[in-house]
Structure 1
């Protein structure tokens, strides 16, 4: 059975959201300021990392490390200059 889980964080004035669709194949989509900037797939509960850029001057590279399971998915937001931050789950 497939389920969608949503995560969010604000960083450097930008909105970063991740949607994790679980199931036999997990699909991760990342939006920065409402625009899809990255996606990845993985099988079962294998972790996956999605690399994106934040539209700062100069652009900031970031990565979202997603663990689809077991249990509820988890997302970590990382940039080269900051420690990893846990992305907050959203109920919608």
Structure 2
């Protein structure tokens, strides 16, 4: 059975979203302002920790990274952190997605 997780944070006037679809194949995508800027695909339930890199469309572009890791808690098995401008912020899980 496939599991779906979605994390979202509005940061510096930009939208950052991470979607995970896990099952036989796990696909993870990073969207910045609705555009896919990183994608990871692996057979199985995912290899964690996983870091995806992207950038904010600024002049000059601002690099960012999102880090996913297992929590060990059944209700919320994944945690996602946005790393931007030297700071790390937890990305809340979107419920009902």
Contact 1:66 1:76 in 2 (8 A): yes
Greater fraction strand:
1
Whole-Å separation in 1 of the counterparts to 2:21 and 2:71: 11
Larger C-alpha radius of gyration, 1 or 2? Answer: 2
In the TM superposition, residue 73 of structure 1 has moved relative to its aligned partner by: 1.2
Q: Calculate the TM-score normalised by the size of structure 2.
A: 0.81
Cα 1:68–1:19 change in 2 (3 A) is farther
Equivalent position of 2:22 in the other structure: 22
CA deviation after TM superposition for structure 1 residue 82, in Å: 3.4
In the comparison of the two structures, how many residue pairs are matched? 91
Question: Structure 1, residues 19-60: CA drift from partner, whole Å, max 9, x if none?
Answer: 011224432101111111111134535211100011012100
1:2 aligns with 2:2: yes
Q: What do you get for the CA RMSD once the two structures are aligned? A: 1.8
Alignment gaps of 5+ in structure 2: none
Aligned residue number for residue 78 of structure 1: 83
Aligned equivalent of 1:44:
45
TM-score by length of 1: 0.85
